[in-house]
Amino acid sequence: MIGACWAGCIDGTPPRLVPLAWHGGTRLSPGLIQESRVADQHTAPTSINVTTPNVARMYDYYLGGKDNYAADRAAAERVIAAFPDVRSAVRENRAFLGRAVRFLAADVGIRQFIDIGTGLPTQSNVHEIARNIAPDARVVYADYDPVVVAHGQMILSGAEPVAFIEGDVRCPDEILGNAELRSLVDLNEPVAILLVAVLNFVTDQERPDEIVARLREAMAPGSYLVISHGANEERPATVHGVQEVYQNATARAVLRTRAEIAPFFAGFELIDPGLVHAPQWRPDLPHRAGALADPGTGMTLAGVGRVSRPVTSHT
């Protein structure tokens, strides 16, 4: 399976199959992919396409990475023009991810992490943070972009209990049923699932609430959900400029209101301080004081929730 799922997609519509693309003469993975089934949905990237701005590579560019092409940089520069704080916003998003993983590994004792929509490898990846605290921690990364997965697999030694799999968050059953994931993660034990800056690439038609509910159903008591999500209430003009650029990228940006993001934590008990701007979530370093002065500039809401009750149906 590559790119999108054969079964287990939340929308349940039948797949249309197209051949897998090739990357640099090397087939990235066997099989076929399923094209999107609804006009408003986007397909998973299937190869290196250097002319379409790619959301993972644009993010890499904001972070100062080198894994990006001219089209990604041009689109990212247009986002920077509309949203000059985007670079500090993505750094704050990464810092939130780091604090959340440290909290879960050190304070809660979580030893299993599934990071969905993980992005191109950068500094302080989840397994590095978690295993620094708990050397027995097991981490599975999933991203629907095969190039992200190929890069991710390259940074793994192969010796540690860490895997990088292809998986589309819109198909949660496929991700949770992945054999490699199951060899590392015991879903009968507490797990942390990270959806960090990825639900903002899932449209309402793709039913992000049901995606999260499906994940929650699979999580054992004592499990945690980590979400960060682009927010749209602070600067309406900025939102428009950002969303316009992403219209022509590999995925649309769907920035949401607090009232739209908060229900993703249905069935979870939000950990203090709740759903807040990313720099406000358990700030640790003095330099975050600056970000705290106007935390809304990052336009990212973030929170961590603990499974609060068994949920048998997501209807």
Is there binding between residue 117 and ligand SAM (CB under 6 A)? yes
Exactly one of 59, 61, 141, 268 binds ligand SAM (CB under 6 A); which one? 59
Of the candidate spans 99-107, 143-151, 207-215, 297-305, the one that interacts with ligand SAM by CB under 6 A turns out to be 143-151
* Residue number with the smallest Cβ distance to ligand SAM: 119
Of the candidate spans 129-137, 194-202, 218-226, 262-270, the one that interacts with ligand SAM by CB under 6 A turns out to be 194-202
Site string for ligand SAM, 84-113 (x = CB under 6 A): ---------xx--x----------------
Q: Which is nearer to ligand SAM, 124 or 308 (CB)?
A: 124
Note the Cα 41 to chain centre separation in Å.
Answer: 17
- Shortest Å distance, C-beta 122 to ligand SAM: 7
Is there binding between residue 198 and ligand SAM (CB under 6 A)? yes
Is there binding between residue 251 and ligand SAM (CB under 6 A)? yes
Q: Which is nearer to ligand SAM, 206 or 260 (CB)?
A: 206
Q: Which is nearer to ligand SAM, 174 or 260 (CB)?
A: 174
- Shortest Å distance, C-beta 214 to ligand SAM: 14
Is there binding between residue 118 and ligand SAM (CB under 6 A)? yes
Exactly one of 83, 103, 141, 144 binds ligand SAM (CB under 6 A); which one? 144
Residue of 302, 265, 276 lying closest to 96 (CA atoms):
302
- Shortest Å distance, C-beta 144 to ligand SAM: 4
Token pair recorded at residue 59: 């993010």
- Shortest Å distance, C-beta 106 to ligand SAM: 20
The contact set with ligand SAM (CB under 6 A) reads 55-56, 59, 93-94, 97, 116-119, 143-145, 148, 168-170, 196-198, 201, 251
